[in-house]
Amino acid sequence: MIPGDIAISAMPQADGRIKLRPLAVLSEFPRHGDLLVCGITSQIWNFVDGFDVAIRKGEPDFEKSGLKKDSIFRLGHLTVLPRSKVSGSIGRISDELLNTLIANLTAHLAKSLR
């Protein structure tokens, strides 16, 4: 698994439940190889403009992602998972889309420094 891969794994939800869901690998942490991932949902109403990123059928990244429905990458739904808990990739997003996700997250975190 490398940044930009799309996979399916059990992820903790806000209510404490664990749910199998698609996720995007954003980064690999040094030494132990744990993965920073963000959840992906088809619940478009959850979209946070200027933060989350949408992906829709017909877009080049959608076709390669392995996703089945229009979806959003929920940057507010981050978790760190051990590499062993993330199964094989179902698809991949472009470096451009990955960079957009990381830039949106970085910009949000930078606001906390003000």
Enumerate residues 6+ apart whose C-beta is below 8 A from 57.
69, 70
| pLDDT value of position 114 | 67
User: pLDDT class for 61, splitting at 50, 70, 90?
Assistant: very high
CATH class of 5-111: mainly beta
For residue range 24-53, what is the model confidence (pLDDT) as tens digits?
999 999 888 899 999 999 999 989 999 999
Please tell me the pTM assigned to this model. Answer: 0.89
CA distance 74 to 66: 17
